[in-house]
Amino acid sequence: MARRATTLGALKGEGYQSRSIKEEIRANLRAKLAAGEKLFPGVLGYDRTVIPDLTNALLARHDFILLGLRGQAKTRLLRALVELLDEALPVLAGCELNDDPLAPVSTVGQRLVAEAGDEAPIEWLTPNQRYHEKLATPDVSIADLLGDIDPIKAATRKLTFADPEVIHFGIVPRTNRGIFAINELPDLSPRIQVGLFNILEERDLQIRGFPVRIPLDLLLVFSANPEDYTNRGSIVTPLKDRIASQIRTHYPDEVETSIEITRQEAWTERGADSAGYEITEDFRLLIEEISLAARESDLIDHSSGVSARVAISALELLASNLERRCLTTGDDPVFPRLCDLQMLLPAITGKVEMVYEGEQQGAEVVTRGLIGDAVRKIFDSRFPAVGKELGSGGEEDTGPYAAIVAWFAEGNHLSLSDTQPFAEYESALARVPGLLDLAAAHCAQRRPDALTLGAEMILEGLHQHLKLAREDLDSQVSYKEVVKFQLLRPRRAPRRTDDPGVN
């Protein structure tokens, strides 16, 4: 890397020319587009929607807000903006506002250039040093964002409050010549939002009515959740008017994209520790279907959303459960089972908001129902339909599941657990007549783990179609016959009028 200038004179000698942060981003973005480079690597599912909108906003030199539900990569997109900044930016050394050496805006920077001239020292900022963000909370103050008078500085240096050097700058002016992001903007109190008006429109900073006005060079970006945007909080109308572009984010449109996002984000590759287990593609699909079932459920609050973190956390817990089984049973490798899904409840129950009916049922009950819905969807797409006549176990049953249901109708039951060694797990499934053969007929792979998972999928599918009963005991699942009964009330004979007990 070439040696960089350390003084103002050397910087001028290199022919350095200043440009605004928005012009810098625009120029670098144009270069990436012309070169065919991928924008915002690591952000999946937005190639035809969000990223084109975001690109247009940056080319137009707009401040913008990303509006979307939780878990839609809003913060990741904002942080990825640093990839559009120059490799290094020269600033005057020792200045709080990252002063441009050729046009300082602070009193300290102007005095430094006036006194030192071409010998004024230069520092270089990296892209990450030019990005700052703040999570909006009701207790954020104007002093936090913009700054306030520092009476200690005034007393120590014997300055009057009219001197701009008594100002202690907040995080926004300290991000001068950079990108400043505010997450969850509606949670910022209205009076604090008003304090951003001048920065967004006039691009200057005013503190406590001082006549001094400091022009700032910033790209201001925001994020907000529509639930907060309409209910918990709001963005004041003049501030909305000053934010030039509003960009809506969304959940992935295709389940394949969701799988790739989860694969990218979940910590499942754990080095040598992950050598003993394998997470199959079928199970990755099943975990994504649980999130999709939650987004479609009437028991889940759709305005709150179902974050991508549901599937990410669930997949990480699944990897841990497989790791645990590998260590305790000695099997190598181990593969996922449907009974492993019971161990994923902690990753789901805390991440979904229930409507009133869901709260009445309880988070765990609703979550088990979502898992069942996901299994049923995959079962219905891969296995024969379950006929209405199926269920009594008698001779009138027809279809591929008749022998299976008949076996349970004879009083047999089957228990499966995530702690069973594979040989014991496979042997238990082999007890059910025709179960593994039926799984083999409809599974693309003939590996033992694929056949046993298919067999367990059949049992769960029959349960979801109300042909088998299931009992959950911690991580153990038991399948048995569906008990059909009718509650009969004994008929009471009418009392006779000559009964001594009748008055």
pLDDT tens for each residue of 117-128: 999 999 999 999
- CB contact set of 45 (below 8 Å; sequence gap of 6+): 251, 252, 253, 254, 257, 258, 261
Distance of CA 344 to the CA centre of its chain: 17
More confident residue, 106 or 83: 83
The Cα 281–Cα 221 span in angstroms is 38
175 and 271 share one domain: no
Average pLDDT of the residues of the chain:
88
Q: Is the dihedral of CA 246, 169, 204, 218 positive or negative?
A: negative
CB 315 within 8 A of CB 268: yes
Residue 209's pLDDT is what?
Answer: 63
Residue 286's pLDDT is what?
Answer: 95
Q: Is the pLDDT score of 397 beyond 70?
A: no
Tokens of 484: 């059909």
The Cα 441–Cα 201 span in angstroms is 67
Number of independent structural domains in the chain: 3
The Cα 468–Cα 480 span in angstroms is 6
405 and 362 share one domain: no
Work out the pLDDT band at 502, boundaries 50, 70, 90.
very low
278 phi and psi angles, rounded to 5 deg: -140, 130
Residue 362, sorted as left (phi over 0), alpha (psi -120 to 50) or beta, turns out to be left
Residue 281's pLDDT is what?
Answer: 93
268 and 182 share one domain: no
Name residue 181's beta-bridge partners.
Answer: 133, 221
Place of tokens 């008594």: 166
Instruction: Please classify residue 502 by burial: count the beta carbons closer than 10 Å to its beta carbon, then call 0-12 exposed, 13-18 middle and 19+ buried.
Output: exposed
Work out the pLDDT band at 179, boundaries 50, 70, 90.
very high
Instruction: Please classify residue 486 by burial: count the beta carbons closer than 10 Å to its beta carbon, then call 0-12 exposed, 13-18 middle and 19+ buried.
Output: exposed
Name residue 66's beta-bridge partners.
Answer: 223, 247
Residue 495's pLDDT is what?
Answer: 44
Work out the pLDDT band at 32, boundaries 50, 70, 90.
very high
Range of the domain at 236: 8-248
Residue 497 inside a domain? The answer is: no
Tokens of 349: 């129950």
Residue 243 inside a domain? The answer is: yes
102 and 47 share one domain: yes
The Cα 100–Cα 92 span in angstroms is 7
265 phi and psi angles, rounded to 5 deg: -95, -30
Tokens of 288: 């994504």
Distance of CA 455 to the CA centre of its chain: 33
Work out the pLDDT band at 353, boundaries 50, 70, 90.
confident
Q: CA nearest 296: which of 264, 346, 255?
A: 255
Q: What are the distances in angstroms from CA 473 to CA 366, 415, 470?
A: 17, 10, 10
Work out the pLDDT band at 302, boundaries 50, 70, 90.
confident
Name residue 245's beta-bridge partners.
Answer: 64
98 phi and psi angles, rounded to 5 deg: 50, 50
Residue 156's pLDDT is what?
Answer: 79
Residue 7's pLDDT is what?
Answer: 95
Q: Is the pLDDT score of 58 beyond 90?
A: yes
204 and 269 share one domain: no
Torsion of CA 122, 126, 129, 132, to 10 degrees: 120
CB 263 within 8 A of CB 285: no
Residue 2 inside a domain? The answer is: no
Give the three-class secondary structure for 408: helix
**167-202: burial string, b at 16+ Cβ within 10 Å, e else:** bebbbbbebbbbbbbbbbbbbbbeebbebbebbbee
- CB contact set of 346 (below 8 Å; sequence gap of 6+): 317
Chosen domain end from 226, 248, 270: 248
Work out the pLDDT band at 232, boundaries 50, 70, 90.
low
Q: CA nearest 333: which of 421, 270, 456?
A: 421
Residue 199's pLDDT is what?
Answer: 85
Mean pLDDT computed over 88-101: 94
Residue 494 inside a domain? The answer is: no
Say what the pTM is: 0.85
Residue 342 inside a domain? The answer is: yes
The Cα 98–Cα 129 span in angstroms is 10
Residue 388's pLDDT is what?
Answer: 65
Residue 273's pLDDT is what?
Answer: 85
The Cα 260–Cα 41 span in angstroms is 13
Place of tokens 């027809």: 398
Name residue 167's beta-bridge partners.
Answer: 149
Q: Is the dihedral of CA 253, 259, 261, 262 positive or negative?
A: positive
For position 116, which CATH number holds? 3.40.50.300
Q: CA nearest 388: which of 378, 369, 401?
A: 401
Residue 464's pLDDT is what?
Answer: 94
Q: Is the pLDDT score of 457 beyond 70?
A: yes
Work out the pLDDT band at 498, boundaries 50, 70, 90.
very low
Residue 501 inside a domain? The answer is: no
The Cα 375–Cα 456 span in angstroms is 10
Residue 390 has what DSSP assignment? T
Mean pLDDT computed over 99-104: 94
Q: Is the pLDDT score of 160 beyond 70?
A: no
Q: CA nearest 98: which of 214, 191, 232?
A: 214
262 and 160 share one domain: no
- From 166-170, 230-234, 256-260, 377-381, the region with the lowest mean pLDDT: 230-234
Tokens of 334: 């181990």
Mean pLDDT computed over 413-424: 94
More confident residue, 239 or 474: 239
Q: Is the pLDDT score of 363 beyond 80?
A: yes
Mean pLDDT computed over 127-137: 94
Q: Is the pLDDT score of 213 beyond 80?
A: no
Name residue 434's beta-bridge partners.
Answer: none
Q: Is the pLDDT score of 392 beyond 70?
A: no
Work out the pLDDT band at 162, boundaries 50, 70, 90.
low
User: What digits encode the pLDDT tens for the residues 215-229?
Assistant: 899 999 999 987 655
21 and 165 share one domain: yes
101 and 209 share one domain: yes
Residue 322 inside a domain? The answer is: yes
Work out the pLDDT band at 485, boundaries 50, 70, 90.
very low
Q: Is the pLDDT score of 65 beyond 60?
A: yes
The Cα 176–Cα 189 span in angstroms is 23
432 and 369 share one domain: no
Chosen domain end from 231, 248, 265: 248
Residue 161's pLDDT is what?
Answer: 64
The Cα 205–Cα 198 span in angstroms is 7
Q: CA nearest 54: which of 21, 86, 76?
A: 76
Chosen domain end from 218, 248, 278: 248
Q: Is the pLDDT score of 283 beyond 80?
A: yes
353 and 467 share one domain: no
For position 261, which CATH number holds? 1.10.8.80
More confident residue, 486 or 159: 159
Residue 458's pLDDT is what?
Answer: 96
